[in-house]
Amino acid sequence: MNFNLSEEQLMIQQAARDFAQNELLPGVIERDRDQKFPTEQVKKMAELGFLGMMVDPKYGGSGLDAVSYVVAMEEIAKVDASAAVVMSVNNSLVCAGLEKYANEDQKQKYLMPLASGQVIGAFALSEPEAGSDATSQKTTAEDKGDYYLLNGIKNWITNGGTAQYYIVIAHTNPEKKHKGINAFIVEKGWEGFEIGLKEDKMGIRGSDTHSLIFNNVKVPKENRIGEDGFGFNFAMAVLNGGRIGIASQALGIASGAYELALKYAKTRKAFGTEIINHQAIAFKLADMATQITAARMLCYKAASEKDQGLDISESGAMAKLYASQVAMDTTVEAVQIHGGYGYVKEYHVERLMRDAKITQIYEGTSEIQKIVISRSISKK
Ligand code: CAA
């Protein structure tokens, strides 16, 4: 078993690291403070091919493997977790779903601009009264012959305000439960489609999270993805891949906080020596390094299984469950190691601690990951 990255993966890692240091680090504190979307930075991510990393170049993507995607995501999230979630949603929830399940016309029209990063996309599943229990959503799309009439509200949608195209999941036949759900591509600006309030969040404040309101929106029949009734299975399949993206974001948050804490511990002195020479601090760093390495291995394993075309429901859920816990634990300890400095904005670790929490919530809470994992292992 070879745990080394290939030459190409190392190059991508370096490119992402340079981009994060040169383009994301300047202004990251201010964007967090002002809830400012990283517009210019996302344009540069598009130029680097980071918004459609795994998509075939014939559809505007970079044609890379999922391990490269994890490697790049970690480097971006180390510095700016908000930019990382914009990247994760566009890559894993939007582009990957369209590449695998959309028809050729849909790919030409929607995937091409999304994968090349000319526009970005959003994935709208959650609702005010249906988050974890995705089957209980209330949004409906009534079949009217050559179009569907879409009505309902979606909540907490990443890229909600900045996206141009939205994948929206809705019931077309509620009696059929999850078999009566479909996925649609909806364009910003269509009559009756309103972008709702922007959420004022604890973390990932540079990303924009909105509710979406659909009031008699006419969605052409050709914008349904897949066969009638495929929407729930589509959402689940897409989320399996999305969880690798969020696991990598969590990994990046953890390794970013760890690197800052290690650097600080090597220079800060207390009781006549650098604090890393105190076992109380050294053991915290030892735990952090071990857990981050384990989280990285789970992310690489899930990504490598994706590259082999294997079922990634279990490995993706394990990577997300564990990496998000490591992100929380590591960032809390990084703040502790920094002492009073850790509690102020300019040392970055307090932001990483706030950013970490959402990784245990979105794209399936940790409790949902345990449902997915336990169902998978019980089948064996
Ligand atoms: N992978 C593939 N298929 C899956 C699956 C998975 N992980 N989980 C369920 N399915 C399939 C089942 O096989 C079944 O298919 P068939 O009927 O064809 O056999 C179908 O889905 C229904 O399965 P269940 O009966 O198990 O469904 P359930 O109602 O018990 O729910 C659940 C299962 C796993 C809890 C699911 O509801 C779930 O994943 N919930 C969490 C939703 C979620 O992650 N939301 C995040 C929102 S997106 C977001 O955060 C976006 C953002 O902007 C960042």
Give per-residue pLDDT as tens, 146-197.
999 999 999 999 999 999 999 999 999 988 989 999 999 999 999 999 999 9
Find how far residue 272's CA is from the centre of its chain.
44
Q: Which atom of ligand 1 is nearest to the CA of 316?
A: 7
DSSP string, 267-287: H-EETTEEGGGSHHHHHHHHH
Half-sphere exposure (CA, 13 Å, Cβ side) for 338? 25
Query: What three-state secondary structure class fits 127?
Result: strand
- What is the per-residue pLDDT for 172? 96
Residue pLDDT, tens place only, 78-110: 999 999 999 999 999 999 999 999 999 999 999
Share of the chain above pLDDT 70, in %: 100
| CB within 8 Å of 86: residues ≥ 6 apart | 37, 38, 42, 45, 120, 158, 159, 162, 207
- Residues 261, 337 contacting (CB under 8 angstroms): yes
- Strands 181-187, 165-171: pairing is antiparallel
Residue 271 to residue 34: CA distance in whole angstroms: 39
For range 58-73, the mean pLDDT: 98
Give SS3 for 211: strand
What DSSP state is assigned to residue 40? H
Residues 158 and 122 sit within 8 Å (Cβ to Cβ)? yes
Instruction: Give pLDDT, residue 134.
Output: 84
Question: Whose CA is closest to 368, among 78, 85, 128, 133?
Answer: 133
Select from 86, 233, 321, 357 the residue to mutate for testing ligand 1; criterion: most ligand atoms less than 8 Å from CB. 233
Greatest Cα pair distance, the chain, in angstroms, is 78
- With H, G, I as helix, E, B as strand and everything else as coil, classify residue 331: helix
Spot the catalytic one: 23, 75, 127, 363: 363
> Has residue 1 got a pLDDT over 80?
no
Q: What is the pLDDT of residue 208?
A: 96
| Mean pLDDT score, 4-15 | 97
By DSSP bridging, strand 147-158 and strand 121-124 are unpaired
Encode pLDDT of 217-230 as tens digits: 999 999 999 999 99
Q: Per-residue confidence at 14, pLDDT binned at 50, 70, 90?
A: very high
- Which amino acid, one-letter code, is at 7? E
Contact 234, 94 (CB under 8 A): no
Residue 139 to residue 136: CA distance in whole angstroms: 9
Q: How many A from CA of 369 to the centre of ligand 1?
A: 10
What are 165's strand-pairing partners? 121, 187
23-57 tens-digit pLDDT: 999 999 999 999 999 999 999 999 999 999 999 99
Percent of the chain with pLDDT over 90: 96
The HSE-up count of residue 37 (CA atoms within 13 Å, CB side) is 18
Residues with CB under 6 A from ligand 1: 89, 123, 125-126, 132, 134-135, 157-158, 178, 232-233, 236-237, 239-240, 313, 362-364, 368, 371-372
Q: Output the six-digit token pair for 153.
A: 């509200």
Residue 380, pLDDT score: 86
Model confidence at 291: pLDDT above 80: yes
Model pTM score: 0.97
* Helix, strand or coil, per DSSP, at residue 168: strand
- Tell me how far apart the alpha carbons of residues 94 and 235 are, in angstroms, rounded to a whole number: 10
Closest Cα to residue 68, out of 15, 123, 1? 15
Segment 115-135 mean pLDDT: 93
Phi, psi at residue 216, to the nearest 5°?
55, 50
- Give the model's confidence band at 335: pLDDT under 50 very low, under 70 low, under 90 confident, else very high: very high
Task: Tell me the average pLDDT of the chain.
Answer: 97
Give the range among 11-20, 169-178, 322-331 with minimum mean pLDDT: 169-178
Pocket test for ligand 1, best of 238, 239, 246, 362 (most atoms within 8 A of CB): 239
Q: End-to-end CA distance of the chain: give it in Å, rounded.
A: 24
The enclosing H or E element of 372 equals: helix 366-378
